[in-house]
Amino acid sequence: MNRNDLRRLDLNLLIVFETLMHERSVTRAAEKLFLGQPAISAALSRLRTLFDDPLFVRTGRSMEPTPRAQEIFTLLSPALDSISTAVSRAADFDPATSKAVFRIGLSDDVEFALLPALLRRLRAEAPGVVLVIRRTNYLMMPALLASGEISVGVAYTEELPANAKRKVLRRSKAKLLRADTAPGALSLDDYCARPHALVSFAGDLTGFIDDELAKLGRERHVVLAVPQFNGLATLLAETDIVASVPDYTAAALTAAGGLRAEDLPLQTQSFELHMAWRGAQDNDPAERWLRSRIQMFCGDPDSL
């Protein structure tokens, strides 16, 4: 196919194909693209004719791509990113009048502690924009970025898609939270003797604190694991349970009263909070504005 033949090609078909490659399901692709299942099925039929290949073969509940589909996807995804970048660069962005929809991935600690200040700033500068917040973590971030379900995410990250970009927003230390009124800071013996609460998205009962304690030949006893920080203050109230949380989360929790924060009675390494985004939208004016506000209100310049 030469460039003149591209006039016969419906770009929407390629978007459907890319979505099917990510979702492996007509139903989920329809939901993501806000289309009916018959429309997705019809598009798939046209794609099969266009590429002269079945493209997807049903295996149980999933639709597995054929080798030809994998080959097309490898070539197509960067091309669609380039088209998106070219169109974005040509568009001006005025926060005061924009009605853009931003899809942002946030870990629970960031959503709880840092989103409120960011939201207030965005509402002041761009009252017409819409924010769609998706819960993410280091395991979910790569897929959410690769599929385009989010354009930018803030969380601790490890592996990312090849075309993603990343920067450190802040370096943080853990703080100890307690609701009791006993005077003085906890010693290491007191810390290990106390019951502990742990915020864990996956329901784990151990974390990096336990690794540090093990190096000292010590351990703690976790009696409560919850999936999010919202409500932690209420759970600790009138108990001797303590919790170890990121310093920015501790600041948000203690600001409401009823809790106090102090340094941990053991040395721990700082950890990095990252902002990651799709490389295809690196120069998008709207996305650049959004990232600058995330840096301003979720970052901590003093720690960088």
Indicate the fold that domain 101-171+272-298 takes in CATH: D-Maltodextrin-Binding Protein; domain 2 (3.40.190)
Position 131 confidence tier, pLDDT thresholds 50, 70, 90: very high
User: When comparing pLDDT for 35 and 252, which is higher?
Assistant: 252
Q: Which residues pair with 130 in a beta bridge?
A: 101
Statement: residue 202 has pLDDT above 90: no
Distances (CA, A) of 39 to 7, 26, 288: 21, 10, 34
Same fold: 101-171+272-298 with 174-267: yes
Q: Which residues pair with 58 in a beta bridge?
A: 63
Highest mean pLDDT among 60-64, 267-271, 297-301: 267-271
For 162-176, the pLDDT digits (tens) are 788 999 999 999 999
Say which range, 10-19, 110-119, 185-194, 249-258, has the weakest mean pLDDT.
10-19
Which residues are CB-neighbours of 292 under 8 A, at least 6 positions away? none
Amino acid residing at 122 = L
Range 7-35 average pLDDT: 82
Question: Residues 33, 40: contact at Cβ < 8 Å?
Answer: yes
Range 180-191 average pLDDT: 94
Statement: residue 187 has pLDDT above 70: yes
Instruction: State pTM to two decimals.
Output: 0.73
For 230-252, the pLDDT digits (tens) are 899 999 999 999 999 999 999 99
The residue among 51, 76, 53 whose CA lies nearest residue 1 is 51
Helical (H) or strand (E) element with 146: helix 141-147
User: When comparing pLDDT for 134 and 204, which is higher?
Assistant: 134
CATH class for the domain made up of 174-267: alpha beta
The residue among 286, 250, 277 whose CA lies nearest residue 95 is 286
The residue among 240, 212, 213, 211 whose CA lies nearest residue 224 is 240
Range 100-112 average pLDDT: 95
CATH class for the domain made up of 5-90: mainly alpha
Domain locations in the chain as residue ranges: 5-90, 101-171+272-298, 174-267
Position 14 confidence tier, pLDDT thresholds 50, 70, 90: confident
